[in-house]
With several copies, the nearest count.
Chain A
Amino acid sequence: MEYTLKDYKSSTKPSWCPGCGDFAVLAALLTTMTDLQLDPDDTAIVSGIGCSSRFPFFTSTYGFHSIHGRALPVAIGLSAARPDINVITLGGDGDGFSIGGNHFIHASRKNPDITYIVMDNEIYALTKGQNSPTSHDNVITKVNPYQAVEERVNPIMMALSFETSFVARGFSGDIAQLKSIIRQAMDHKGFSFVHVLSPCVQYNDKITFDSIKEHIKPIADDHDVTDRMAGMKLVFEPGYYYTGVIYKQERPTLQEKLDEVQSKAHPGHPEGQQVEELIQQFM
């Protein structure tokens, strides 16, 4: 049997506002899952809290709409316990870079085989528009009515410094490229981070499809994705958002390391030890 797009869609109509950038991410992910012919019952989408985090309700796979900022550890627990399940994690810029920022660092260290998509609208949308760690200085909201007082974070540069093993940026105005990026991310063995510029049409008029278009530049073909320093150079270039795959590194995944640990733990017992044997030590 072949899965078609509609096998991945839930019967729930997305509750996003018409025009929301997140629709494009949904479309791209649904297509990618179809292309990969993932069994929806072997797939789980984990999110935090936010408009973007409502995502799991709109697919027919397993889903976990968890709590604000904790999508990554939930996903890592799931994936470590159930390496047979395709785990996809997603959320917003507030969820991922504000309250959840630390988990991003440590997920990168662990390198679980999961894809993490952040829909960055540079705003806290679900709570009706407060500035987020990625908001530009010109985003004046009710919590910063006079001016911004903080610098923006640079998610790509952070990921490179965390040695995230796959780092890419997409734009919800370019679904074709987004699909290709998500496909590569999901093909990647390890923790793949996809930063998607995904406008909110309701609460942030500073970052729109049009304004983003002016600042993005697809990464040149000759970019060496295995060179982290080259990736750094791209992000250091001012004024532009490069889109495409920025960095990619092959290294053992968390699951592989945990397998190694298991085989080291019971060298003589290929199947593992019996519980009875563990009790011996207390005698």
Chain B
Amino acid sequence: MKNLVIRICGTAGEGVISSGDIFALAVARSEYYVTTFRSFPSEIRGHGQCSFQLRMSEEKAYTTGLMTDVLIGLNEEAILSNIKLLGSGGILILDSDEVKNKFEEFSGIIKYRIPITTIATEKASIRAKNMVAIGIMAGLVPQLELKEQLKKDIKKRYAKKSQEIIDSNIKAFEEGYKYATENLKREDNLASMTMEKSGPKLIMSGNEAIALAAIVAGCRFYAGYPITPATEIMEWLALEMPKVNGTMLQCEDEIAAVTAAIGASYGGVKSMTATSGPGFSLMSEALGLASMAEIPLVVVDVQRGGPSTGLPTKTEQSDLNMAVYGTHGEAPKIVIAPMNVEDCFYQTINAFNFAEKYQLPVILLSDAAIGQRKECVDKIDLSKIKIENRLKHTRETDTGLYVRYKNTLNGISPISNPGDKGGAYTATGLEHTEICQPCSTPEVHKMMTEKRFKKLETATQDFIPAKTYGPDDAKIGIITWGGTTGAVLEAVDMAREQGYKIQALYPRTIYPVPNQWLNSFVEGKEMILVAEANYTAQLLHNLVYRLNKINKDIKLFEVLKYNGEPFSAREVFDKVDKVIRQQMLKYTTFELEKDESYKF
């Protein structure tokens, strides 16, 4: 797959993130695939260093890539902390006005020293350094024809600013472009690189994908409270929900937000709220209410580093346990984790479908990295999207009564909405009989507990089966979820290049996980690794019993990262490689490096 990875870095005030954003948009609109990653400090307003990486490619890529082909650095500190990401033959572009260091110790890379600050100040304004930078980026690969689209996107971005600012930015961009095309003595790989366009596509962030999908799924009520890194969902819906006659309500806190969503859903309107860790914890009691009163509800948790206030701008997959178990008593829920931006869209649709069909809360576990990064999404065909709605209420044929919590075979009871004639009932978080009377007898509590869990059992038949990636006859398996999936899939590819046969399993519904997904995957495997971005191996601990049960001899390993950064494919591969080697050492006495026998 042809692809080009570019990283731009500098201090937070230098517009690094917005230049990356604009560039990514233009790449997508020029019909290449693009995926991005941004990293910035969690300070109030950045004094710190940020970076933005984007990968453009002919085919859809899972991650922003292992190494970067081009690194544009606006100051020395930024370059120093990123330069090791440049592969051999990579291109370093630096602002020669700001950076005196020649980076002699880094060989095998091409360095272009460009007076970015001078160009910006002389031709436009000191604030337009980032525009010069993207001009240079576009000018490195004029054959990819990004220039005109970039100009359009710059204009769009600053549409609300004065004409002067727009002109100045365009000028800076043009000058950067000109400088790159005219002044650089090109001896690098990019000079002649070509890339096929792959047709029109969408570009959006994970948070936007969730918000858009909610509307597509029929959600017409959203209540929320701002919190990093989930706020964009609320912001997007504030603008767009009213366009489709839906409601977005800002609440005083997350408890009000989730209970308002429950109230709206009780009213028959598909409802959602989104938050991150601290807000999710606050919703704990209300989630139990939705589960007990059987009210459909979608709750998005865009995970960030925890616990407590933790690391608001960093990513982590550490809320899985909370999502599954974070309510007192036994309150069935479904937990779904999208693997990337496009998946955010489709899994949100699933979340609503499950919530409506099974009348329970569905938790969508996204994360800061997916939520914030922009990625391409293939054109969405609305006609192909299946939307489920809650079971309409009916009366008993014999008695003519409506039995709201009827204990049916599959656990799903007919549900009425206020306004439905003859459907009046009182929803309650108390244990209740089938006809909604508070009741605490042993028989009723037992029956209703079983009924509520029966729905989960029924639901598993509806889940999109976990997918596999890699050869079926692999002896090494790797299971992963959510935001780590992309890195794992690329690591499987890397492993193949190294001669390892590895197969990955990546469920999107992560609770409950039906047995059959595990059965067929575990069969034939000798060891299974579970990769996730947390400390306590949460998914592994949720599956471990069953993995063992299927194959008592299976060897299980954790592949964990818990420093607030997402996994890269290289890191997954390195950990996998290490585990395999260690395992092999048990069976071999000779030097592994020199022996190929460990490659299945």
A–B in direct contact per CB < 8 Å: yes
Enumerate chain A interface residues (CB-CB to B < 8 A): 12, 15-17, 40-44, 46, 49, 51, 54, 56-57, 60-70, 73-82, 84-85, 98-99, 101-103, 105-106, 124-128, 130-131, 133, 142-146, 149-150, 202, 258, 261-262, 264-266, 269, 271-279, 282-283
Residues from chain B with a CB closer than 8 A to the CB of A275 are: 215-216, 244, 382
The answer to whether B115 has its CB under 8 Å from any CB of chain A is: no
Residues from chain A with a CB closer than 8 A to the CB of B425 are: 62-63
CB < 8 Å neighbour of A64 from B203, B255, B266? B266
CB < 8 Å neighbour of A133 from B252, B264, B268? B252
In this complex, which of A73, A103, A133, A145 has the most chain B Cβ atoms within 10 angstroms of its Cβ?
A: A73
Q: Which of B231-239, B461-469, B517-525 contacts A (4 or more CB under 8 A)?
A: B231-239
Residue in chain B with minimal CB distance to A40:
B424
Residue in chain B with minimal CB distance to A105:
B252
Contact B289 A78 (CB under 8 A): no
Residues from chain B with a CB closer than 8 A to the CB of A54 are: 44, 438
Contact A73 B221 (CB under 8 A): no
CB < 8 Å neighbour of B242 from A62, A77, A261, A277? A261
The answer to whether B261 has its CB under 8 Å from any CB of chain A is: yes
Contact B264 A69 (CB under 8 A): no
Query: How far does the alpha carbon of A265 sit from the alpha carbon of B238 in the complex, in Å?
Result: 10
The answer to whether B407 has its CB under 8 Å from any CB of chain A is: no
Contact A142 B235 (CB under 8 A): yes
CB < 8 Å neighbour of B263 from A76, A106, A266? A76
5 CB-based A-B contacts, threshold 8 Å: A73-B255, A98-B252, A143-B248, A258-B247, A261-B242
Contact A63 B259 (CB under 8 A): no
Contact A62 B268 (CB under 8 A): no
Residues from chain A with a CB closer than 8 A to the CB of B234 are: 143
Which residues of B from 215 to 268 have beta carbons under 8 Å from A? 215-216, 220-221, 223, 225-228, 231, 234-235, 238-240, 242-245, 247-257, 259-268
Contact B238 A144 (CB under 8 A): yes
Taking A262-B242, A266-B243 as known contacts, 19 extra A-B pairs with beta carbons closer than 8 A to each other, sorted by chain A number, are A12-B437, A40-B424, A41-B424, A43-B418, A62-B425, A66-B262, A66-B263, A67-B259, A67-B285, A73-B259, A77-B223, A77-B267, A80-B221, A81-B267, A99-B254, A262-B243, A272-B244, A278-B244, A283-B200
Interface size on B, residues (CB 8 A): 81
Given that A98-B253, A275-B216 are known contacts, is A127 also in contact with B260, CB under 8 Å in the complex? no
CB < 8 Å neighbour of A131 from B250, B255, B262, B289? B250
Which residues of B from 172 to 216 have beta carbons under 8 Å from A? 200-204, 208, 212, 215-216
Which residues of B from 8 to 52 have beta carbons under 8 Å from A? 29, 43-45, 47
Contact B418 A41 (CB under 8 A): yes
Contact B426 A62 (CB under 8 A): yes
Query: How far does the alpha carbon of A124 sit from the alpha carbon of B226 in the complex, in Å?
Result: 8
Residues from chain B with a CB closer than 8 A to the CB of A126 are: 44
Residues from chain B with a CB closer than 8 A to the CB of A66 are: 259, 262-263, 289, 427-429
Residues from chain B with a CB closer than 8 A to the CB of A51 are: 44
Given that A77-B221, A77-B260 are known contacts, is A82 also in contact with B380, CB under 8 Å in the complex? no
Contact B259 A81 (CB under 8 A): no
Contact B423 A41 (CB under 8 A): yes
CB < 8 Å neighbour of A282 from B204, B265, B420? B204
Query: How far does the alpha carbon of A146 sit from the alpha carbon of B286 in the complex, in Å?
Result: 30
In this complex, which of B200, B285, B420, B424 has the most chain A Cβ atoms within 10 angstroms of its Cβ?
A: B424
Contact B421 A41 (CB under 8 A): yes
Contact B220 A81 (CB under 8 A): yes
The answer to whether B419 has its CB under 8 Å from any CB of chain A is: yes
